[in-house]
Amino acid sequence: MTLEEIINKHFNKLNENDLYILRNMLDNWDMLSEMNIKKISELCNTSTASMHRLAKKLGFSGFIEFKFFLKGQRNEVNDIAMELNYEDVLLNDLKITLDSINKKNMEDICATIYHANNLYGYGTGWKQTIALQTLSNDLMYYHKPIIQLRTLADKEHVLSSVSSNDVFFVVSLSGNTKDIEPLLNMLKMKGVKIISITSLKTNFIASRADYSLYFKKFETLSNGILHWSPITLNVVLDYISFSYAKYISNLRHNSISESGK
Domain boundary among 82, 113, 136: 82
Domain boundary among 82, 111, 135: 82
Q: What is the rounded average pLDDT of the residues 162-183?
A: 92
Q: Which of 148, 100, 156 lies closest to 124, judged by CA?
A: 148
Most confident of 85-89, 92-96, 121-125: 121-125
Q: What is the rounded average pLDDT of the residues 151-168?
A: 88
Q: Which of 170, 58, 10 lies closest to 50, judged by CA?
A: 58
Q: Same domain, yes or no, for 103 and 155? A: yes
| CATH number (domain holding residue 32) | 1.10.10.10
Q: Which residues of 222-238 are buried (b: 16+ CB within 10 A; e: fewer)?
A: eeeeeeeebbbbbbbbe
pLDDT for 83 beyond 50: no
pLDDT for 75 beyond 70: no
Q: What is the pLDDT of residues 129-140, one digit of tens each?
A: 999 999 999 999
| Three-class secondary structure of residue 55 per DSSP | helix
| Three-class secondary structure of residue 66 per DSSP | helix
Confidence (pLDDT) at 82: 42
Confidence (pLDDT) at 81: 45
Confidence (pLDDT) at 85: 67
- Evaluate whether residue 91 is within a structural domain: no
Q: Which of 30, 26, 24, 28 lies closest to 6, judged by CA?
A: 26
| pTM of structure | 0.68
pLDDT for 58 beyond 60: yes
- Evaluate whether residue 89 is within a structural domain: no
> Which residues are CB-neighbours of 9 under 8 A, at least 6 positions away?
1, 59
Q: Are 81 and 220 in contact (CB under 8 A)?
A: no
Distance, in Å, from the CA atom of 156 to the CA atom of 179, rounded to the nearest integer, reads: 14
Distance, in Å, from the CA atom of 236 to the CA atom of 200, rounded to the nearest integer, reads: 12
Q: Same domain, yes or no, for 107 and 236? A: yes
- Evaluate whether residue 36 is within a structural domain: yes
Q: Which residue has the higher pLDDT, 6 or 188?
A: 188
Confidence (pLDDT) at 80: 44
| CATH number (domain holding residue 144) | 3.40.50.10490
Side-chain half-sphere of 5: how many Cα atoms within 13 Å?
Answer: 14
Strands 146-148, 193-199: pairing is unpaired
Q: Same domain, yes or no, for 110 and 228? A: yes
* Number of structural domains the chain divides into: 2
Q: Same domain, yes or no, for 126 and 233? A: yes
**Rg of the chain over CA atoms, in angstroms?**
21
Q: Same domain, yes or no, for 56 and 152? A: no
Confidence (pLDDT) at 186: 93
Q: Are 124 and 180 in contact (CB under 8 A)?
A: yes
CB neighbourhood size of 210 (10 A): 16
Q: What is the pLDDT of residues 216-241, one digit of tens each?
A: 888 765 554 557 889 999 999 999 99
